[in-house]
């Protein structure tokens, strides 16, 4: 990824986080009106994205599926098999309706 300007990509993402707060009302309205399937697999020990952030989705989308897992910030690197299984399970259930 070094050839792709990984440092610039990460910096752009970090700087862009500040716009999320301003977009929250529109995002919450979208969830309430359209009720999309939502799967939040959240790291229990992530110092940056605390578990309460995952449960906040449930306020606007009562059917949200929130699954805390026992990892830190790099869940996909350490628990990719568990996460992929949960995603497949969600899609199977939603497509079988």
Tell me the per-residue pLDDT of 22-31, one tens digit each, with 9 for 90 and over: 888 999 999 9
Q: Residue 42: in which H helix or E strand, if any?
A: strand 39-43
Active site residue 34: no
Q: What pTM was computed for the model?
A: 0.70
**Is residue 3 very low, low, confident or very high in pLDDT (cuts 50, 70, 90)?**
low
The stretch 39-46 carries a mean pLDDT of 88
Sign of CA dihedral 32, 76, 19, 44: positive
- For the chain, the average pLDDT equals 86
Euclidean distance between CA atoms 42 and 27, whole angstroms: 19
Q: Is the pLDDT of residue 89 over 60?
A: yes
Q: Measured between alpha carbons, how far is 87 from 77 in angstroms, rounded to an integer?
A: 16
What mean pLDDT is predicted for residues 83-95? 88
Which 3 state secondary structure label does DSSP give 57?
A: helix
Token couple for 20: 């999320």
Determine which one of 34, 45, 67, 73 is catalytic.
73
Q: Which of 91, 79, 82, 83 is nearest to 38 (CA)?
A: 91
């Amino acid at each position: 990824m070094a050839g792709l300007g990984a440092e610039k990509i990460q910096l752009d993402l970090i700087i862009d986080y500040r716009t999320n707060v301003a977009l929250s009302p529109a995002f919450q309205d979208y969830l309430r009106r359209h009720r999309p399937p939502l799967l939040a697999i959240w790291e229990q020990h992530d110092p940056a994205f605390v578990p309460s952030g995952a449960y906040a989705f449930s306020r606007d989308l009562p059917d949200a599926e929130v699954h805390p897992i026992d990892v830190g910030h790099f869940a996909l690197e350490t628990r990719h098999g568990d996460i992929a299984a949960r995603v497949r399970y969600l899609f199977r259930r939603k497509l079988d309706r």
